[in-house]
Amino acid sequence: MYPLKFKPYYVEKIWGGRNISKFKNDLPEGNIGESWELSCRKDVDSSIINGEYKGKTFGSLLLEKGSLLAGSKISIETFPLLIKFLDAKEELSIQVHPDDEYAKKDGDLGKTEVWVVLEADEDANMVLGTKDCTKELFCKGIHENDLEPCLNRIPINKGDVYFIKSGLIHTMKGALVAEIQQNSDLTYRVYDFNRGRDLHIDKALDVMDFSLKGRKASGLVSKKYGYTKTYYCYNDKFSLEQYEIDKVLSEVSDSERFYVYICIDGKGKIIYEGGEEDINIGETIFIPAVLGEYKIEGKLTLLKTYVPDIKKLEREILDEVSYL
């Protein structure tokens, strides 16, 4: 087994633009709103572009290799993560995602996600939750076509990280983000700025949690020789960490779970027993559970995500706190 790289799957969106071209050199024409970086779904199954398994889909390799690829603690029946770049040149719909239990009605997983802001216009902003708003006031705003007074709209900047739990009403405008989410494609739109797309108001109101408030993640920073690591968020769905590497990072894969790295700046290479792979900005790298020891060399910024063993991760973070 070796680190896997994937062909992006581009999706044109009414709110999309051209900013993903800052990370990709093969962007098709049109307003591209999404680049699906790693997907294992019936509708979009990522194609491997390197090494022995070049041309295979990730889903077919997962069925073939099972826990060797995903890890002994990860289900191969439903791969847990979906990774994208989003370019919201115009505003997304005002939307919300269901939790796992509610999503079963629509035959999918729930959708909790995290956004990492890679680029932001001067007036870029997000809506994260409501402010001084009850369900009755929110319904009144929908009826009167004026939701803005109910929305917690905040300015955003490059480098910001926001955790978006299922049930949190949200949208954004003027930003390019990396999105790490549960493997789900369920979005319930409350309002879409009269662009003619379907709305899902009843379902949205069913799943909205008016107590949720989104806020920027501060992170816990740990400086090591050759790199800096920031822990941003973790839950039973995924963990997010960021590495600023200026020399080398040495790690070992985990037989219980896969790792995924997303390169958001710079370039380098990953060296493992039996070979090496270049890593460039905009690429997503899958680390099989059985890879073993590996090093990442270069000057680059990586996001790392995986489905954590929460107790193990908390012990690791406590050790870091004690060290700091």
Active-site residues, by number, are 189
Three-state secondary-structure class, residue 229: strand
Query: CA nearest 96: which of 85, 106, 111, 109?
Result: 111
Query: CA nearest 232: which of 306, 292, 163?
Result: 163
For residues 60 and 291, give the distance between their C-alpha atoms in angstroms, rounded to a whole number.
Answer: 19
For residues 88 and 79, give the distance between their C-alpha atoms in angstroms, rounded to a whole number.
Answer: 26
DSSP assignment string, 177-190 = EEEEEES----EEE
What residue type is assigned to position 296 of the chain? I
CB 259 within 8 A of CB 303: no
3-state secondary structure 204-235: HHHHCCCCCECCECCCEEEEECCEEEEEEEEC
- CA angle, corner 242, sides to 236 and 246, nearest 5? 155
Three-state secondary-structure class, residue 218: coil
Beta pairing partners, 38:
83
C-alpha neighbours within 13 Å on the C-beta side of residue 250: 5
What residue type is assigned to position 221 of the chain? V
Three-state secondary-structure class, residue 242: strand
C-alpha neighbours within 13 Å on the C-beta side of residue 245: 28
- What are the backbone dihedrals phi and psi of residue 48, each rounded to the nearest 5 degrees, phi first? -80, 135
